[in-house]
Structure 1
């Protein structure tokens, strides 16, 4: 009986410890510089849209529902957001760039929601194709922050656009 009570107390302590983890695990103020609908990641120098595609910045949060796209639609969406094809224009991030936003100390979503409010706890496309199979590409799943290249390019996932600093 004593062992059972000790295990129950230990389980409860571990559960409590898990819920007390700081999320985000980094200081938002030292990592991100907020500019209305855009945010500069001071660690990478990249400029991100605060809202997922399909949402809009209303001055304090991302309003609306994030849309999903095939990877080809996501690439097209990025091109439409940057009609001049400027090297500093919006684009679909590569997998390393997108994964840099994942905070593994957070779950559902695994991202700093003070900086990126309304982010779905779901997968988002990267522009990085699978090296050996043209019908598969890399994605980052923001439910847990996992990275995978097992997704067919026709699957519907979310999109967050990025650009280089001006």
Structure 2
């Protein structure tokens, strides 16, 4: 188990599962539960501070009541609700915000479900459903990203739909910024960011280095996370099953003993630029042969015969059935030393 201090968190997954979802030994599996890469979770992860909760992993402070608005609301209503909290100095503070998608998703544990939060947690009124982020969907900016606290999925929906709000405050020294720099109306038009409370205004998180990527032959180092990726974003022209993806990485290591692995879902998501779509990668990325969806090594504990995947065209985090030969394999490894 190796800790990466650069910007991707451990997923929380500690068990391993076969294609049918049965628990198996992690040893030699190549799965997330074996490697547990990323920044390790402190114990306890959460500190309750009255009606606030400090996440000791990210440094962010959340409202202990996970549904302070009580009812779902549209996206602009959610932003306005948080602005009203600040005018009222809710819980003694005036710097609450709607979390960006990376902040909101950082709460997710991939070892639990209903809710997908680490256990035990001190939160109250956690709804097993969708919560708004402050991040618009770059490909369709009349939509915004939301996270499902039931199972941990992250997708986007129309800003005229109604979901819940979970305010946050503080700044994380480990979570990277999302890359979003513009702000949008509920119809998707670009608007001035000032006073909007949107991700494009606040741009919270670790600033990306410039250049972000360095290339050495067929390997690309992400200077933001310290991870090394294959420059060619595929290992086969056709889709493969989840076990085939794990086996493809094992064969790659037999060929050059280079320490490659199938990335966990947090490592895959760390590549996403929320200012881009098709693919959702930084505009100056050096990768070639990109595919639409990539397998992670992380099992979905909601349905363990499914595994997590990154939908790279959109930047969404979803799942796929392990036995279906639909997705692709993109190996990663740690920076030497």
1:127-166 superposed matches below 5 A: 127-149=297-319, 151-155=320-324, 156-166=326-336
Cα 1:85/1:39, change in 2 over 3 Å: closer
Cα 1:85/1:138, change in 2 over 3 Å: farther
For this pair of structures, how many residues does the alignment match?
Answer: 137
Structure 2: gaps spanning 5 or more residues = 1-184, 191-206
Task: Pick from 105, 126, 136 the counterpart of residue 296 of structure 2.
Answer: 126
> Residue 189 of structure 2 corresponds to which residue in structure 1?
14
How far apart in 2 are the matches of 1:84 and 1:116?
22
How far apart in 2 are the matches of 1:85 and 1:117?
21
Aligned residues of 1:79 and 1:85 also touching (Cα < 8 A): no
Task: Pick from 248, 251, 255 the counterpart of residue 77 of structure 1.
Answer: 248
Aligned residues of 1:141 and 1:147 also touching (Cα < 8 A): yes
Q: Which runs of 4+ in 1 moved over 3 A?
A: 26-29
- The structure having more radius of gyration, on CA atoms, is 2
Asked if 1:39 is matched to 2:213, the reply is no
**Post-superposition CA distance 1:36-66 (Å, at most 9, x none):** 21111111111100112247xxxxxxxxxx4
SS of residue paired to 1:82: helix
User: What's the C-alpha RMSD, in Å, of the aligned pairs?
Assistant: 3.0
Q: How far is 1:142 from its partner?
A: 0.7
Aligned residues of 1:28 and 1:115 also touching (Cα < 8 A): no
How far apart in 1 are the matches of 2:218 and 2:256?
21
- What TM-score, normalized to structure 2? 0.36
How far apart in 1 are the matches of 2:209 and 2:239?
27
SS of residue paired to 1:83: helix
SS of residue paired to 2:296: strand
SS of residue paired to 1:159: coil
Structure 1: gaps spanning 5 or more residues = 1-9, 16-25, 56-65
Aligned residues of 1:104 and 1:144 also touching (Cα < 8 A): no
Aligned residues of 2:296 and 2:310 also touching (Cα < 8 A): yes
SS of residue paired to 1:34: strand
Task: Pick from 51, 60, 72 the counterpart of residue 232 of structure 2.
Answer: 51
- What TM-score, normalized to structure 1? 0.70
> Residue 117 of structure 1 corresponds to which residue in structure 2?
288
How far apart in 1 are the matches of 2:313 and 2:276?
9
Q: Point out which structure has higher relative CO (alpha carbons under 8 A, 6+ apart).
A: 1
Aligned residues of 1:47 and 1:165 also touching (Cα < 8 A): yes
How far apart in 1 are the matches of 2:243 and 2:235?
16
Aligned residues of 2:218 and 2:230 also touching (Cα < 8 A): yes
How far apart in 1 are the matches of 2:239 and 2:297?
15
SS of residue paired to 1:81: helix
SS of residue paired to 1:124: strand
